[in-house]
Amino acid sequence: MGRGSNLERVGGFNQAVVLDAIRRAPHGISRVELVQATGLSTQTVSNIVRKQLDLGLLNEGHKTVTGPGKPRTPLTIEPRSRFAVGVHLDPSVMTFVVLDLAGDVVARCRHEMPAVADPDTTVARMAAAIDGLVRTAKVPRDRVLGVGIASPGPINEDRGIVVDAPLLIGWQAVRLRESLRGATGLPVLLDKDVMAAAHAELWSSSRGENENFAFIYLGTGIGAGLVINGQVMRGASNNVGEIGHFSTGEDGPLCACGRSSCIGVAAMPAHLVETAVAAGVLEGPASGADPELISAAWVKLGALALQGDAGALGIVDASARRLARVVEDIANLMDVERVIFGGPMWAPVSERYLAVLQPTLSQRSAVSAIHDLEVIGSALGEDIAAVGAGCAILDHILAPKQMGLLLQD
């Protein structure tokens, strides 16, 4: 079947440059316009376009005459020519998406993940879920370029290993990329969940190289993804954004690192739910409960705050203020124009958090005299990390830049 070989066949920097330019032109782009947009020669563009038409990656529209000179033939991406699978591995749930070449979700599903599962069983279930979803979506398997996995960090991306994901019990040093490659027969790429989320935002943005934002990811823990000049920042080991030990400036719960002002523990839904239970705002669950129960209690706490329950409001707003303090430092350090919040634990508190975060951060941006700081919630919803992991696969053929992520092929 030659699975994955498409990657090599459409590889190459110039080809990626051309495909990317076509993808970014919503109404299509002609060969002449491609020459102008890419700086490549007429002959090079013509050869690449011919090859990509042969591979079925492009559609050629009807010739139109819009003025003097040659008629214009617009080229567009053929969305159904290639697909990518994105998986988000979260302590409480696994999310799967199939993306077409345009980056649109064509199928999705979610599977509850048992709190204690051994990695081998989980990999087998992941492979079965991917098979099922690809079949449901009626996507020819030989058009699936690969599987991107978004995992809680830290990860050893070089070796495709999930190092020691908090709350993924039994997941120390799991060779996820290799195992899933074996189980699916597809190329597999591993990325950190926060990076994947930032990647998804970047894909849906039209600002290209002018994009500068911090993505604050609220999950079981907290992390940041950074996009500077249109590139996801990756660092020495693809682990940029470990902000869990940034100081809130307040005394709070004791962190594993020995300090008691770390945002990581202070902003954890598990800690805030525990605080709410201790204050009589919530009836349960008891501390140490598994992720599903914490998640349900977190939704309840957010809802109570929205209804104006004084106890819940106090806890949620204080948490948002602590978060603002940390995000202010990140925004100032990176000179970003936008801060985007999202991740699986964002939705229940988004309204209250934004009410606190927006005024605080806008006023406290050190460069506010030069440019505004936009503070928003992500529009991509709970699939965001899975979508971003799929986008990383598409980037291997579409994006004219060194990705920095390894594909197990």
Binding mask 247-286 toward Zn ion (x if CB under 5 A, else -) reads: --------x-x-x--x------------------------
b or e along 3-17 (b: 16 or more beta carbons within 10 Å of the residue's beta carbon)?
bbebbeebeeeebbb
Binding mask 170-199 toward Zn ion (x if CB under 5 A, else -) reads: ------------------------------
Smallest distance, Zn ion to C-beta of residue 194, A: 17
Binding mask 60-89 toward Zn ion (x if CB under 5 A, else -) reads: ------------------------------
Comparing CB distances to Zn ion, the nearer of 157 and 274 is 274
Binding mask 135-154 toward Zn ion (x if CB under 5 A, else -) reads: --------------------
Which range in 57-65, 239-247, 272-280, 346-354 contacts Zn ion by CB under 5 A?
239-247
Comparing CB distances to Zn ion, the nearer of 96 and 217 is 217
Q: Directed axis angle between helix 350-364 and helix 310-334, to 10°? A: 40
Which range in 57-65, 90-98, 238-246, 398-406 contacts Zn ion by CB under 5 A?
238-246
Sheet of 172-174, strands arranged across:
155-156, 161-164, 172-174
Count of residues engaged in binding Zn ion, rule: CB under 5 A: 5
Residue 185: which region, alpha, beta or left (left: phi > 0; alpha: psi -120 to 50)?
Answer: left
Smallest distance, Zn ion to C-beta of residue 246, A: 9
Q: Can you tell me the distance from the alpha carbon of 27 to that of 199, in angstroms, rounded to the nearest whole number? A: 24
Looking at residue 71, what DSSP letter applies? P
Smallest distance, Zn ion to C-beta of residue 154, A: 14
Contact yes or no for 18/34 (Cβ under 8 A): yes
Which range in 28-36, 160-168, 224-232, 241-249 contacts Zn ion by CB under 5 A?
241-249
Does the footprint of Zn ion cover residue 245 (CB under 5 A)?
yes
Binding mask 196-235 toward Zn ion (x if CB under 5 A, else -) reads: ----------------------------------------
Looking at residue 254, what DSSP letter applies? P
Contact yes or no for 80/101 (Cβ under 8 A): yes
Q: Can you tell me the distance from the alpha carbon of 336 to that of 62, in angstroms, rounded to the nearest whole number? A: 42
Smallest distance, Zn ion to C-beta of residue 112, A: 30
**Burial status of residue 37 (CB atoms within 10 A of its CB: 0-12, 13-18, 19 or more):** middle
Smallest distance, Zn ion to C-beta of residue 165, A: 17
Smallest distance, Zn ion to C-beta of residue 80, A: 47
Comparing CB distances to Zn ion, the nearer of 167 and 255 is 255
Angle at 47 between CA 43 and CA 52, to 5 degrees: 145
- Listed in sequence order, the residues at least 6 apart from 299 whose beta carbon sits closer than 8 Å to its beta carbon are 348
Q: Directed axis angle between helix 291-306 and helix 310-334, to 10°? A: 100
Smallest distance, Zn ion to C-beta of residue 326, A: 12
Comparing CB distances to Zn ion, the nearer of 134 and 263 is 263
Which residues here bind Zn ion, judged by CB under 5 A? 245, 255, 257, 259, 262
